């Protein structure tokens, strides 16, 4: 059994705020839910499936279901960090394909800036791994820095090549009025920005932002009755990569597993993809993911992204045309939701005209949640315009 | 309300207590499997490779090579985050101490030096040989 063609994205919404002073976390969840349902032309009472992740306040989905006053017959709060919302698209499609629900709502909200949480650290807890990591002060930037360090060592990847990823994102962000960083930057700008965690410069790192987003998935017969363009789920894949008992290899991500699963279910190849939303917590995340998804050979990511190859209207693979996490936003330090939203805009033909991929019919969205340096969830979805 | 439980000190966890006792003597214990013979880290009671419960502690020689590292520039006084591949095979997250960041390189040989970590517990760190 496959989810291919069995569920459609009918509604999306991205919260315009980037600093949510005066808004509660639950309130942002409700605002994005309201926005996505309005976009779909559906009402709260149509929702019979609810999906959220670790950003939602409360125990799993229960407190948000109460706050939103929903009455779902199917819930799922699988938390794989920032990739959870890409993963939830696959899970929601599976639930719809099985008849467990017909209108699935996925919400994300975060307000780390308003809350004054400018340092992103791994969540503490009494996990089995924590005693073997906490003594070494592993902040996110150094773990990703170590992954970049090893990738450079093995494959000769350069800081200039990584910088091209930020350059491409900035070219796109100039057209997004909501983006936090709208100035177009050059490779030299990236290299001249302060070093944060070798070899990653400040401009290799994503923004920290508040905000949120929501997605409404529905059964195909419902999608056909709505007024919005129909975007169907063609394939989905997920994986968890971890330290594997000490057999650590920092040069690849879980996309090496989630990608092929999604492509197989979709029955397409990387060369068929016209637009890609790639999780961009750091430039190295993008470079490694592009290799792992098969857009280029392992170790060739640096050459692939160089010279503007990711810039819409210029390169072969337009990516993150909203400006991505590197320039636009990264709500609650969880960027998977916005990856799906921009892919849907591209497929609907509703991206900014300056970055819209002509006749975009097949797109990919990929999330990487957790840390490349320890464990992370990878989720890939392939979406198609009907 | 959901009751919030106090997290006990890691050294009180019987599954890894010998690891912490060894650190107090300046030694690093890893685990190996008497069934499939594969060493692993971080240590577990059961083998993560063959799922046998026949694991035993193995004292590492304390030598290895830097696999990867990254210097957090805003915290120059803190040890450098690194991954070290032990001569026994497993790679672990660690810190490099007593060595200037500019002297580090991938593949550089290192030796164990047990130090207090950022969370106050003793931890296996490494220094350039």
Assess if residue A129 is contained within a domain: no
Q: Is the pLDDT of residue B106 over 50?
A: yes
Which residue in B15, B68, B117 is closest to A250 by CB distance? Answer: B68
CA dihedral B86, B89, B92, B96 (to 10 degrees): 20
Q: Is the pLDDT of residue B57 over 80?
A: yes
Structural domain that includes position A243: 8-114+205-385
HSE, CB side, 13 Å, CA atoms: give it for residue A84.
25
Assess if residue A327 is contained within a domain: yes
Least confident among A111-120, A278-287, B57-66, B120-129 = A111-120
Q: Is the pLDDT of residue A80 over 50?
A: yes
Q: Classify B109 as helix, strand or coil.
A: strand
Q: Is the pLDDT of residue B93 over 90?
A: yes
Where do we find the tokens 């214990």? B29
Q: Is the pLDDT of residue A349 over 50?
A: yes
pLDDT at A219: 98
Assess if residue A233 is contained within a domain: yes
Alpha carbon of B56 to those of A121, A190, B17, B93: distances in Å?
Answer: 33, 49, 13, 21
Alpha carbon A181 to its chain's center? 18
**Residue A386, token pair as written in the block:** 């009907």
| Pairing status of strand B91-96 against strand A49-51 | unpaired
Task: Provide the number of structural domains found in chain A.
Answer: 1
Q: Per-residue confidence at A6, pLDDT binned at 50, 70, 90?
A: very high
| Average pLDDT value for residue range A346-357 | 98
pLDDT at A124: 55
Q: Is the pLDDT of residue A272 over 70?
A: yes
Interchain proximity A131–B92, CB inside 8 Å: no
**For all residues of chain A together, what is the average pLDDT?**
97
A133-143 pLDDT, tens digit each? 999 999 999 99
Q: What percent of chain A has pLDDT over 70?
A: 98
**Distance (Å, rounded) from C-alpha A46 to C-alpha A216?**
11
Alpha carbon A218 to its chain's center? 20
The domain that holds A28 is classified in CATH as: 3.40.47.10
**Distance (Å, rounded) from C-alpha B18 to C-alpha A317?**
52
Provide the b/e sequence for B104-126 (b: ≥16 CB within 10 Å).
bebebebebbbbebeeeebbbbb
Which residue in B16, B67, B118 is closest to A134 by CB distance? Answer: B118
Where do we find the tokens 């969205």? A365
Interchain proximity B41–A197, CB inside 8 Å: no
Interchain proximity A198–B49, CB inside 8 Å: no
**Distance (Å, rounded) from C-alpha A74 to C-alpha A64?**
14
Q: Per-residue confidence at A277, pLDDT binned at 50, 70, 90?
A: very high
Q: Which residues of A lie inside 8 Å of B (Cβ-Cβ)?
A: 59, 125-126, 128-139, 141-150, 153, 194-200, 243-248, 250, 373-374
Q: Per-residue confidence at A120, pLDDT binned at 50, 70, 90?
A: low
pLDDT at A123: 57
**Distance (Å, rounded) from C-alpha A164 to C-alpha A206?**
14
Interchain proximity A137–B72, CB inside 8 Å: yes
For residue B42, say if its preceding peptide bond is cis, omega within 30 degrees of 0.
yes
Q: Is the pLDDT of residue A7 over 60?
A: yes
Q: Does the global pTM surpass 0.90? A: yes
The distance of A192 to chain B (nearest Cα, Å) reads 15
pLDDT at A112: 95
**Residue A320, token pair as written in the block:** 């993150």
Q: Which contiguous run of DSSP H or E holds residue A358?
A: none
pLDDT at B8: 59
Q: Using CB atoms and an 8 Å cut-off, which of residues 51-90 of chain B contact chain A?
A: 67-75, 78-79, 81-83, 89-90
**Distance (Å, rounded) from C-alpha A330 to C-alpha A211?**
8
A198-207 pLDDT, tens digit each? 999 999 999 9
Alpha carbon of A60 to those of A66, A124, A213: distances in Å?
Answer: 12, 18, 18
pLDDT at A385: 98
Alpha carbon B88 to its chain's center? 13
**Residue A67, token pair as written in the block:** 């706050």
> Between residues A58 and A126, which one has the greater pLDDT?
A58
| Sign, CA torsion A143/A121/A65/A225 | negative
Q: Is the pLDDT of residue A20 over 60?
A: yes
A39-54 pLDDT, tens digit each? 999 999 999 999 999 9
| Sign, CA torsion B108/B114/B116/B120 | positive
pLDDT at B75: 85
Residues in A touching B118 (Cβ below 8 Å): 134-137
pLDDT at B56: 98
Q: Is the pLDDT of residue B5 over 50?
A: no
**Which residue on chain B is closest to A145 by alpha carbon?**
B70
Assess if residue A141 is contained within a domain: no
Is the reported ipTM for this assembly greater than 0.90? yes
Strands of A49-51's sheet in order across? A74-76, A49-51, A103-110, A211-218, A8-14, A231-241, A376-385, A362-370, A275-278
Helix/strand/coil (H, E, C) string of A239-267?
EEECCHHHCCCCCCCCHHHHHHHHHHHHC
């Amino acid at each position: 059994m496959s989810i291919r063609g069995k569920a459609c994205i009918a509604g999306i919404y991205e919260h315009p705020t980037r600093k949510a002073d005066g808004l509660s976390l639950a309130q942002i969840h409700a605002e994005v839910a309201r926005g996505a349902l309005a976009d779909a032309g559906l009402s709260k009472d149509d929702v019979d499936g609810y999906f959220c992740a670790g950003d939602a306040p409360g125990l799993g989905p229960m407190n948000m279901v109460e706050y939103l006053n929903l009455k779902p017959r199917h819930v799922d709060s699988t938390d794989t960090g920032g990739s959870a919302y890409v993963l939830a698209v696959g899970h929601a499609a599976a639930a719809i394909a099985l008849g467990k629900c017909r209108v699935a709502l996925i919400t994300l909200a975060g307000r780390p800036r308003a809350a004054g949480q400018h340092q992103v650290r791994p969540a503490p807890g009494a996990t089995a791994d924590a005693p073997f990591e906490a003594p070494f002060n592993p902040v996110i930037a150094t773990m990703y820095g170590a992954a970049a360090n090893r990738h450079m060592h093995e494959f000769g990847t350069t800081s200039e090549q990584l910088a091209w990823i930020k350059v491409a994102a900035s070219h796109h962000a100039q057209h997004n009025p909501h983006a936090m960083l709208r100035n177009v930057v050059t490779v030299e700008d990236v290299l001249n920005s302060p070093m944060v965690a070798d070899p990653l410069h400040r401009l290799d790192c994503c923004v920290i932002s508040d905000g949120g987003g929501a997605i409404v998935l529905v059964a195909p017969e419902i999608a056909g009755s709505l007024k919005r363009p129909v975007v169907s789920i063609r394939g989905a894949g997920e994986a968890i990569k971890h330290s594997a008992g000490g057999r650590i290899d920092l040069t690849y991500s879980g996309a090496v597993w989630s990608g092929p699963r999604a492509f197989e279910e979709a029955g397409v190849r990387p060369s068929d993809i016209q637009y890609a939303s790639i999780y961009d917590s750091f430039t190295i995340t993008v470079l490694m993911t592009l290799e792992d998804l098969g857009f280029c050979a392992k170790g060739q990511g640096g050459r692939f992204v160089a010279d503007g190859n990711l810039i819409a209207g210029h390169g072969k693979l337009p990516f993150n045309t909203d400006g991505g996490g590197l320039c636009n936003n990264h709500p609650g330090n969880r960027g998977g939701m916005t990856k799906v939203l921009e892919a849907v805009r591209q497929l609907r033909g509703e991206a900014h005209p300056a970055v819209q991929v002509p006749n975009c019919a097949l797109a990919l969205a990929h999330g990487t949640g957790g840390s490349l340096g320890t464990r992370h969830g990878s989720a890939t979805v392939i979406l198609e315009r009907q | 309300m959901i009751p919030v439980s106090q997290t006990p000190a890691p050294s009180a966890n019987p599954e890894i207590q010998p690891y912490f006792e060894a650190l107090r003597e300046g030694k690093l214990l890893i685990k190996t499997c008497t069934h499939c013979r594969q060493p692993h880290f971080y240590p577990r009671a059961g083998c993560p490779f063959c799922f046998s419960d026949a694991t035993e502690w193995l004292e590492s020689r304390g030598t290895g090579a830097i696999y990867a590292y990254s210097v957090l520039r805003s915290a120059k006084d803190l040890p450098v985050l690194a991954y070290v591949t032990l001569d026994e095979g497993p790679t672990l997250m660690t810190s490099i101490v007593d060595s200037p960041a500019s002297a580090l390189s991938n593949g550089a040989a290192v030796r164990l030096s047990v130090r207090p970590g950022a969370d106050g517990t003793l931890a296996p760190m490494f220094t350039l040989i």
